[in-house]
Amino acid sequence: MYLKVLVPTEVFVDTNIIKIVAEAENGSFCLLPHHIDFLAVLVPGILSYTLEDNQEIFIAINEGILVKRGDYVFVSTLQAVQDKNLQTLQTTVTKKFRILDEREKLIRSALAKFEATIIRRFRDIGVS
């Protein structure tokens, strides 16, 4: 099978695989070569795939869509973090989400200041 994982800014994974395991709303599932065509809405969690040399790789995703058509498996997700070790992956995900949370707080603060400035300006010119 051929796996392609897409995030908004890049092709995150582009490789041949022999197996993929992911989780949808109704539970986890495994796709092997010659499996029927398949579509699933993925929930936040761990997706794993096995390379042709039997090496297992883990990807943490926030959510996404998986489409299997013929020998091709496509996964589209907003965020993905990959590692060969689950423990390392957990540490990496924690750090990445901490950075995202800090950025989000800064953006919210800037937006609040911007909104307050606009409201003051409208008040100053007499718009209510």
Consecutive H or E run containing 72: strand 72-77
- Burial class of residue 62 (count of CB atoms within 10 Å of its CB; 0-12, 13-18, 19+): middle
pLDDT tens digits, one per residue of 11-60: 999 999 999 999 999 999 999 999 999 999 999 888 999 999 999 999 99
Give the pLDDT confidence score for residue 102 in this predicted structure: 72
Return mean pLDDT, the chain. Answer: 88
Give the pLDDT confidence score for residue 128 in this predicted structure: 59
CA distance 11 to 14: 7
Domain 2-83, CATH: 2.60.15.10
Residue range 115-121: mean pLDDT, rounded: 82
Q: List the chain domain ranges.
A: 2-83, 85-128
Give the pLDDT confidence score for residue 91 in this predicted structure: 77
CA distance 11 to 71: 18
Give the pLDDT confidence score for residue 21 in this predicted structure: 97
Tell whether pTM > 0.95: no
CB 30 within 8 A of CB 21: yes
CA 10, chain centre distance (Å): 12
Residue type, 60: A
